[in-house]
Amino acid sequence: MAPADGAALAPRVRGTRRFRIRRPQVVIGEAIVFVIVLAAFLAPVIAPYPPNTVNVADALAPPSTAHLMGTDYVGRDVFSRVLYGAREDIVVVVLITYIGLTIGVLVGTVAGYFGGWFDAIVGRIADTAIAFPFIVLVLAIIAVVGPGIEGIAIGIIAVGWALYARLARSEMLSLKEESFMLATKALGYTHRRAILRHALPNLIRTCLVYSTVDVVVNLLVLAGLSYLGVGQQQPGADLGSIIASGQPYILTAWWISTMPGLVLVLFGIGVSLIGEGFTESELTVSTL
Amino acid sequence: MLNYFARRAGIAVVQLLGLALVAFALIHLVPGNPVRTMLGARATPEQVAAATRRLGLDRPLVDQFGSFVWGLLSGNPGQSITFAQPIASLISERILPSFLLICYGLVVAIVVGTPLAVFSAVRPGGAFDHGTRLFTTVAFAMPTFWLGLVLALLFGLKLHWLPVAGYTSGFVGAIRSLTLPGVVLGLSLLVIVVRTLRTSMRKVLTAEFVEAERARGFSTFRIVTRHVMRSAVMPTITVLAVNVGFLIGGTVVLEQVFQIPGVGSLLFLAVEHRDYPVVETIAVMAGAVVVVLSLLADLAQALMDPRVRLGARTV
């Protein structure tokens, strides 16, 4: 390896060392996210009841040992529904966030690397995508493709990529001036090698840090739209639609709407804590 | 200066055209026949043909796009299908509650966020700073619709302090019916206000002129209120202007939760009934608000801070 690669790695090594001193909030965040994700993925194993089995005799039962989060208006076990719902939400959100990230980072990196007309066009498209209020664009797409996860996913990716493209582009612009990137030119590396092997590892980190915020935002959008009835359709369970299904019973059976909401909030807090830990150590590294 | 203004305004115009193009393309270029989807499966071919002609969908695309943009510019974007009413009057009937809700949310975010940011910036790493961070993180992770539901349960159904849903016009009525959604909206924005203001205040607080003032024996209160705030406020305003899209999105959801007859719930109705002309118009309008506000914020910043306009390309 050329010495240039050593220079490229230097900031990352410092970052890694910094990360060994783990901040308690990051550990707490990771613990929360780990428990929720694990529980969600083990839903078929953990869930005491099938999520959609109706048992009217047991309807609207309050939380107890038999039903940890109570039952809903047709006697479905809320805990089981929340587990399955969380699994669905997490899979969808992680998928759409990182599809957007992949597209955005690639487009942004290439735009920043080459500049010129491609950069100009990408920049204007990204500007336009960002200008649409997120939910408004997603709703417009749903108006066309119909209610369901599909429309939400298309909408979120259509806006999401633009943010990463901007981020990756601006990182690329400053990387371009670094001596190791100039060295890739001097050594006659192909553009592909320079971008994928040398630029990308250095700019991906910022994008990953940002993606933690994005996961929370997307989860909230997804749950919000499902709650409003344009996301997951009945009888499928996702957290938003479970909350909506409990709304008419909120006075007599508060648990149906409250419990899935708490899971959403906890997951969001967990991811934000991890993200904050990142940004703080990031800040420390850059000010050193 | 003029150069910067012209360039920045040029970008805004391109963005606006892009918005119109995207909204137009979404609805006109989708596979399948929008008219058929709109009228439902039972519509006869004659009805479909008539509606297609009425909406002008049989004309060339360029023509349609031209009249779409012209309609938006002239303030007459056409007729709603579901409501059998001009879109312009539909929107103007409903714009006030939405506008007030956004203002309410902004006021809550600023009134609650400013002191939180100031006190955490003055003593970074202190107990207050950590508490604020925890509070804003939690507020950020709360789904607005869920928090709205919980607050409605608590203050509306249990304590009977505030109405649970609906909108009453008039000053007192509006304030009462918008308080719960306004607070929820403000809380969701809080994290942005606190973080930006805190970061920019930290930057100013470590500047040399602040040290000089401390050396002269000025109190922290005086330094913060007279000098630091002044330089720290601008970035916050910019960030707020950029995030108005986020606020608009929040309004759409909250209007639905609290059943407020605003533009957000109109958009929702239009989506449900596949009233494409209304969806198009509202989408472009919402985007235009974001574009215009961030343009104004950038221009204001350029006016106040010469580094912006003299510096290299910022956009």
Give the structural domain span for A189: 25-46+69-282
Token digits for A60?
Answer: 């609207």
pTM: 0.81
pLDDT score recorded for residue A4: 43
Residue A155 lies in a domain: yes
pLDDT (tens digit per residue) in A49-90? 888 878 877 778 788 887 888 888 888 888 999 999 999 899
Token digits for A4?
Answer: 């240039």
pLDDT (tens digit per residue) in B95-133? 999 999 999 999 999 899 988 988 888 888 888 888 888
Ranking B224-228, B231-235, B246-250, B275-279 by mean pLDDT, the lowest is B231-235
Residue A152 lies in a domain: yes
Q: Which residue has the higher pLDDT, A288 or A145?
A: A145
Token digits for B182?
Answer: 């306004």
Q: How far is B287 from chain A (nearest CA, A)?
A: 5
Token digits for A196?
Answer: 């994928």
- What residue in A sits closest to B271 (Cα-Cα)? A143
| Banded model confidence at residue B315, pLDDT cuts 50, 70, 90 | very low
Residue (of A93, A58, A18) closest to A268 by Cα position: A93
Residue A112 lies in a domain: yes
Tell me what the mean pLDDT of segment B155-162 comes to. 79
ipTM score of complex:
0.81
Judge whether residue A111 has pLDDT over 90. yes
Judge whether residue A9 has pLDDT over 50. no
Identity of the residue numbered B229:
M
| Banded model confidence at residue A279, pLDDT cuts 50, 70, 90 | low
Q: Which residue has the higher pLDDT, A13 or B240?
A: B240
Tell me what the mean pLDDT of segment B235-249 comes to. 81
Helix (H, G, I), strand (E, B) or coil at A219: helix
Ranking A95-99, A201-205, B44-48, B149-153 by mean pLDDT, the lowest is B44-48
Which CATH entry fits the domain spanning B94-234: 3.40.50.10540, 1.10.10.10, 1.10.3720.10, 3.40.1360.10?
1.10.3720.10
Q: Is A143 close to B143, i.e. CB distance below 8 A?
A: no
Q: In chain A, how many domains are there?
A: 1
pLDDT (tens digit per residue) in B179-235? 889 999 999 888 888 888 888 888 888 888 888 888 888 888 888 888 787 777 777
Percentage, residues of chain B above pLDDT 90: 10
pLDDT score recorded for residue A284: 40
Q: Which residue has the higher pLDDT, A139 or B57?
A: A139
Residue A234 lies in a domain: yes
User: How remote is the C-alpha of A248 from its chain's centroid?
Assistant: 30
From the candidates A93, A132, A174, A271, which should be mutated to test the interface with B, based on the most B CB atoms within 10 A? A132
Percentage, residues of chain A above pLDDT 70: 88
- From residue A251, give the alpha-carbon distance in Å to each of A247, A255, A260, B6, B146: 9, 10, 16, 57, 15
DSSP string, B72-86: HHTT---B-SSS-SB
Q: Is A261 close to B138, i.e. CB distance below 8 A?
A: no
User: How remote is the C-alpha of B15 from its chain's centroid?
Assistant: 17
| Dist. CA B105–CA B248, nearest whole Å | 10
Q: How far is A35 from chain B (nearest CA, A)?
A: 17
Report whether the peptide linkage leading into residue B31 is cis, meaning its omega lies within 30 degrees of zero.
Answer: no
Percentage, residues of chain B above pLDDT 70: 93
Judge whether residue B294 has pLDDT over 60. yes
What residue spans in chain B does CATH classification 1.10.3720.10 cover?
Answer: 94-234
- Calculate the average pLDDT of chain A: 82
Chain B residues close to A216, C-beta within 8 Å: 140-141
Q: Which residue has the higher pLDDT, B272 or B313?
A: B272
Q: Is B287 close to A136, i.e. CB distance below 8 A?
A: yes
Helix (H) / strand (E) containing B161: none
Q: Is B144 close to A258, i.e. CB distance below 8 A?
A: no
- Calculate the average pLDDT of chain B: 83
- What residue in A sits closest to B280 (Cα-Cα)? A140
Q: Which residue has the higher pLDDT, B272 or A9?
A: B272
Question: Which CATH number goes with the domain that contains A203?
Answer: 1.10.3720.10
| Dist. CA A29–CA A152, nearest whole Å | 27
Residue A237 lies in a domain: yes
Tell me what the mean pLDDT of segment A7-32 comes to. 63
**Per-residue exposure over A242-257, b if at least 16 CB sit within 10 Å of its own CB, e if not:** bbbbbeebbeebbbbb
Q: Is B22 close to A132, i.e. CB distance below 8 A?
A: yes
Judge whether residue A166 has pLDDT over 60. yes
| Banded model confidence at residue A283, pLDDT cuts 50, 70, 90 | very low
Give the closest of A133, A143, A272 to B249, CB-based: A133
pLDDT score recorded for residue B195: 84
Residue A12 lies in a domain: no
- Chain B residues 149-178 with CB within 8 Å of chain A: 149-150, 153, 157
Q: Is B267 close to A136, i.e. CB distance below 8 A?
A: yes
| Dist. CA B103–CA B140, nearest whole Å | 19
